[in-house]
Amino acid sequence: MRNVRIIGAAITKFGKHNDRNLKSLAAEAVTGALRDAGISKDRLQGAWVGNAAQGLLDGQEMIRGQVVLHPMGITGIPVFNIENACASSASAFNDAWARVALGEIDVALVLGMEKMYYEDKAKSLKVFTAGMDIEILAEFVRSAKEAEVKMAGERAARGEAEKEKTGGRSIFMDVYAMAARNHMSTYGTTQRQLAAISSKNHFHSSMNPLAQHQKKWSIEEVMNDVEVAFPLTRAMCAPIGDGAAALVICSDEFTLKNGSSHKVDIAATVMASGETTLEGAEEPMTRLARKAYERAGIGPEDVSLAEVHDATAFGELSNTEALMFCPKGEGGPFAEAGNTRLGGKIPVNVSGGLECQGHPVGATGARQVVELFMHLTGRAGERQVTGAKVGLAQNGGGTIGNSEAALSIIILKR
């Protein structure tokens, strides 16, 4: 297997782009990545395009990558369309890496893209139900509603005033809320600790001009925001939006011939599918993390910064535990103590994460890797992690059993 490097990367601003189509967003990201790599489009030998929802939202199926790349004049090369829930572009990255590592090609384009925002919010939210087993969806919705009614009764009995609630939410907010409540009852995690994670990410995003949300929120403001599903408030949850992210990866031989000024090695890229695990058993994400660390020749203590899948603040908490940045059950206190803040022990989601950068699902995996690349090449601006040498991106998509359906970990080294 050959060593593979990233030599160029770019993303669009994430947000609600009512005046733009997917071709426009993809073109901006791809053009930016090629410019950053210092190569022309005719040098590309293959393209891997991650997208999750356009078939459901717009009806564009089968050739989504070819549709967006053709107007840019990127034709003739093989184009692979990858759909794997929120891990679509992380999966595209993994596939492209393998093709270069095996020596079949020397340089590849990885593109993640999604156009998810519509005035009709119900249209966007409906997409998320496709990331679950639809045959058991109705049973889950019923259980979630019963739990919500029971919890509302318990809170009323304690004399707690009912909070204002959001109108609509994706089914995954209920998945995260139920997992968060279980963690709270098992380990004593508090809503304030979740709010501390969210407040930290809003602080990080205030330094990210490409983030969908760039406003600072205090812990109290996060806790007092509109409730989505207890213990999650709106500020703790990723917004729906649009965006694209692109990377150029290549072999060492190609790098030497082309003299690229920005180079970061891909130390590990590993994937797995989810499963049902028994209580007390090691989580699939932790097993995958062990594999990634072994392949990269590092341990969790060597990671300079991490971008983790925080569709909610609880997602970040559980993933910092699964990645072994802290012991199981201690994710709340670990974050509350400032360990995951810029300048802390292990800065997590310095981009603002999905909660603030935004989560156009097919673009997220690639976007996380772009963020790491910028830090490892010293170009992250105000939010730069000083002396960053190792970056980790953790991405998960969909739900199967009691874990994410698609799991990905990517480790980069300067």
**Sign of the CA dihedral running 13, 18, 20, 22:** positive
Alpha-carbon separation of residue 130 from 14, 94, 126, 127, 378 (angstroms): 23, 23, 8, 6, 39
Look up residue 175 and give its two tokens. Answer: 């998945």
Three-state secondary structure call for residue 270: strand
CA atoms within 13 A on the CB side of 70: 5
Of 86, 237, 326, 356, which residue is the catalytic one?
A: 86
Rg (CA), the chain: 20
Residues whose CB is less than 8 angstroms from the CB of residue 403 and which lie 6 or more positions away in sequence, other chains included? 274, 275, 276, 277, 283, 284, 285
Q: Which two tokens stand for residue 406?
A: 């698609």
**Order of strands across the sheet that contains 305-307:** 79-82, 47-50, 107-115, 242-251, 4-11, 264-273, 403-413, 390-400, 305-307
Identify whether 237 is a catalytic site residue.
Answer: no
Catalytic residue among 213, 262, 359, 375: 359
Q: Is 359 a catalytic residue?
A: yes
Query: How many whole angstroms from its chain centre is CA 10?
Result: 16
Residues designated catalytic: 86, 359
